[in-house]
Structure 1
Amino acid sequence: MAREQLGICAEANLHASYLLCNVLDGQEAILRQKLLRIPQMLQRLAEHFSESMLTGLVAISSHYWDSLYPWQRPAGLQAFPVLPSEHLAVSCSMADLLIQVRSDRLDVNYIALQQIQQLLLANIEVSEQLSGFRYLDGRQLTGFPDAPQNPRGIKRRQAALVPAVDSPMFAGGSYLHFYRANLDLKHWQQLTVAQQEEILGFAKTDGKPLPAERLLPNSHLQCSLAGGLAPLPLLQQNMPFAQGNSQGLLVLNFSHQAERFAQQWHYRLGLNEGRYYDSLLDFYRIDLAAAFFVPALGFLEAAANGSLGTSSDLFE
């Protein structure tokens, strides 16, 4: 069975750190060796600081994948979609790698990042270093519970991980869309709780869907449903951020099917016939976005030892 990187399906933590990195020219061969060491390093630290619940992952961007792993590409790996909408202005990041570290101890995050950066010092440049934190009892800065319709239990793996029947080469991996959404907190806080709930489609206290008579067609809930019936099979892993006068949400969406991301944005932007755009987008500005693939551990191992030619190397 393919072994996924532990940061994909991990439960929520108190602290998150993210590195967006650009790889220096000609580093692909040594980088294939070092990327395997990052999950191994995180596993050792997780065992040493067992109470911290440390997890993490390393992901390769859609534009850098062919340079690092030219033998085969995940079938659905594409750049973050650029969609025509006055409500969404995205600057796509050209970062080659995304490295995420999460735990319940900020000092353990620091130690892990320090060791990762020391490992990759000669091979990369860090273009962005971002930090997220748990807010209250797992809420966004809007005051609402984060991702109340997120899949739970075994459904997390089913939503996020590529099954072997679909792709033996990339089984246990996951397609990942990352973006930073800046919240217009001043104008959001001027709304009443009832107005906020109608924009989200959820109750502010417990995240339960509003009754049908209060559920608006342009609410976030309605615009996030596939065909208006059920949530798209995406696993959200969000963390609030605040830095200076900027605050909002760092969003990681995982899926076993890359086309789900384009569907998500078509629904939220009202690009499908007869649909409304997500009114929550009036309060967010997405200024950084990128698409990645998170390979399974078996894939990283096979790439590091040069045995990608045989798919049996991907399963242990």
Structure 2
Amino acid sequence: MTASSAELPPEPQAVVGPLTRAAVFLVVRVNPGGESVARDLLADLPGLQRSVGFRSLDGGLTCVAGLSSSAWDRLYGSPRPAELHDLPVFAGDKHTSVTTKADLLFHLRAERMDLCFELESLIMARLEGVVTVVDEVQGFRYFDARDVLGFVDGTENPTGRGAVDAVLVDDDGAFNGGSYVIVQKYLHDMAAWNKLTTEQQELVIGRRKLSDVELSDDEKPGDSHIALNVIEDEDGNELEIVRDNMPFGRPAYGEFGTYFIGYAKTPSIIEKMLENMFVGSPPGNTDRILDFSTPLTGALFYVPTAEFLEDPVVASDEPAEPTPEPPAPAPGTSLGIGSLRRSPRS
């Protein structure tokens, strides 16, 4: 390794990117005894993504993998990311959030669903028999990036360098370059929602439905979705996250939903949003959107760097034993050239 390459920062997974037309949100639990298979799959995931993505270079295929607190302990042990923990349940007098027992998140995105479908198929073939599926949602782009409630979603996402600064950890040593992600699956009561006038819906959200312009402070109610989701630090600076929410649904079954997914450099920002929504700010002043939207799942994950996935280096309490030199290959045997997994980096 050259001096210049040693100074390069770790390569993050594709947590920051343009909104796509299709997505798959796959959440699984690793069955006891399946840890090594799951760890090997995570190491091979960048290679699998390249293999599928190369078949459509303009398809924009990416896959972000995250691990929950318990999964990190089982797959990688110590040390661990400083802020990785189970997502709390936020319970107010009227609304209560949901926390789901989960181990791994796979967030697949592309301009075409077939690319997501193919990569998910390869992932599940590798994990067959060693994981239990918690949830699988196929999301789609709805007109001009609107949710099924009819409002544009993700308007306030930071872009460029601002997005990178908002989502990548920069104060946790070996875990710098990673990110935290929280997911929630919501179903909407469209019958009740559609009984509201457009003006009433705008007061629930805090934004104009057609133009996507935010209501003024004088017009915007304190229990509107936007009012309760603006988080500031002690100096009054807004703390940002990157949302990549997607609509989903099955109209024949009366299912209309939004899959919330938010990336941030610290989970405390999104957790504060959830506290404001479900408990209220002040307590009791809860998010009006919860009168029409019900959470079904919720989980928090840490997203390691792409470099870590392909070559995890984790310290342990015991000194590592010297690795013996591998024997020279016998004449005529394969050197493993062209295999999917990369050799460990030195």
TM-score, length-scaled by structure 2: 0.82
49-58 or 38-47, which deviates more: 38-47
State the one-letter code of the partner of 1:211. S
3-state DSSP of counterpart to 2:174: coil
- The aligned runs of 1:234-253 (5 Å cut-off) are 234-243=241-250, 244-253=253-262
CA positional deviation for 1:292: 0.9
* Runs (5+) with no aligned partner, structure 2: 1-8, 317-343
Question: Given the alignment, which residue of 174, 190, 193 partners 1:188?
Answer: 193
The offset of 1:20, in angstroms, is 1.5
Distance of aligned partners of 1:62 and 1:87 in 2 relative to their CA distance in 1, 3 Å threshold: farther
Contact persistence 2:25–2:137 (CA under 8 A): yes
TM-score between both structures, scaled by the size of structure 1: 0.90
Instruction: Give the distance between the partners of 2:345 and 2:161, measured in 1 at CA.
Output: 20
Other-structure match for 2:292: 283
1:28-47 to 2 correspondence within 5 Å?
A: 28-47=35-54
Residues 1-316 of structure 1: matches in 2 within 5 Å? 1-6=9-14, 8-163=15-170, 166-227=171-232, 231-243=238-250, 244-269=253-278, 271-273=280-282, 276-303=285-312, 307-309=313-315
Following superposition, the deviation at residue 199 of structure 1 comes to: 1.2
In 2, Cα distance between the equivalents of 1:88 and 1:174?
A: 28
Moved more, 278-287 or 221-230: 221-230
Give the deviation of 1:87 after TM superposition.
Answer: 4.0
Larger radius of gyration: 2
Structure 1 alignment gaps of length 5 or more: none
Asked if structure 2 preserves the Cα contact closer than 8 Å seen for 1:145 and 1:206, the reply is: no
Cα RMSD of the aligned pairs, angstroms, is: 2.3
Aligned-residue offset at 1:2: 1.4
Contact 2:208 2:215 in 1 (8 A): yes
Contact 2:37/2:127 (<8 A) preserved: no
Greater strand content: 1
CA deviation vs aligned residue, 1:190-218 (integer Å, no higher than 9, x gap): 11111111111111123221123311111
The one-letter code sitting in structure 2 at the alignment partner of 1:64 is A
The superposition leaves residues 11-49 of structure 1 with CA deviations (integer Å, 9 ceiling, x where unpaired) of 111111122212122222343222111122113322321
C-alpha distance in 2, partners of 1:315/1:195? 58
Q: Contact 1:161 / 1:256 at 8 angstroms: preserved in 2?
A: yes
Number of residue pairs the alignment of both structures matches? 307
